[in-house]
């Protein structure tokens, strides 16, 4: 059983990746912080359900992905708000603006797959487990999403 101290130590190892992932999904710093906070609270409350300490990273990313999805569905923002946000904030640290735009054009599920792959460092088998998809489906969707982003960058 993982106690509060062990949870804190495990959380320290993933916080930055969780925040980067949430920022790319939510497109707004405050929304990303809220999503991470909600996911961490949920993880802490349900830590007894975690069977293996080694699975903490993928487990908490799955919780965060679900929180982000729920938040995006519950408060869809207008196109104007997104354009204003995009002009005033940098969503993904270290990425050029054109890459950010290409990422934002992807649908929500493809953003999730790219985000887990790039920011979480997960392979298609791990992403498949988290999203309940076949690893082959994850690979093909990731490939198509990256091709779409590449095509948009060439324009």
User: 26 Cβ partners below 8 Å, 6+ apart?
Assistant: 32, 35, 68, 71, 72
Residue 79's pLDDT is what? 46
Residue 41's pLDDT is what? 95
Distance in angstroms (rounded) separating the CA atoms of residues 41 and 83: 31
Distance in angstroms (rounded) separating the CA atoms of residues 117 and 92: 14
Whether the model clears a pTM of 0.75, i.e. scores above it, the answer is no
pLDDT digit string (tens) for the chain, length 155 residues:
678 888 999 999 898 889 988 888 888 889 999 999 999 999 999 998 888 888 898 889 889 988 988 888 776 654 445 555 554 454 444 445 667 777 778 888 888 888 888 877 788 998 888 888 899 999 999 999 888 888 876 76
Residue 137's pLDDT is what? 94
User: 84 Cβ partners below 8 Å, 6+ apart?
Assistant: none
Residue 85's pLDDT is what? 54
The ranges assigned to domains in the chain are 4-154
CATH code given to domain 4-154: 1.20.140
Nearest-CA neighbor of 56 among 127, 136, 109, 2?
2
């Amino acid at each position: 059983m993982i106690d509060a101290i062990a949870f804190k130590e495990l959380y320290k190892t993933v916080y930055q990746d969780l925040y980067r992932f949430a920022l790319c999904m939510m497109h707004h710093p405050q929304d990303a912080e809220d999503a991470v906070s909600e996911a961490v609270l949920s993880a802490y409350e349900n830590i007894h359900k975690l069977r293996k300490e080694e699975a903490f990273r993928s487990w908490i990313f799955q919780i965060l992905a679900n929180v982000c999805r729920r938040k995006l569905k519950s408060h869809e923002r207008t196109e104007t708000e997104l354009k204003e946000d995009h002009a005033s904030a940098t969503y993904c640290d270290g990425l050029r603006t054109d890459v950010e735009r290409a990422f934002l054009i992807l649908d929500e599920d493809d953003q999730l797959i790219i985000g887990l792959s790039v920011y979480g460092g997960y392979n298609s088998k791990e992403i498949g487990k988290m999203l309940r998809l076949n690893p082959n489906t994850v690979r093909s969707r990731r490939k198509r999403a990256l091709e779409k982003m590449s095509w948009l960058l060439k324009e």
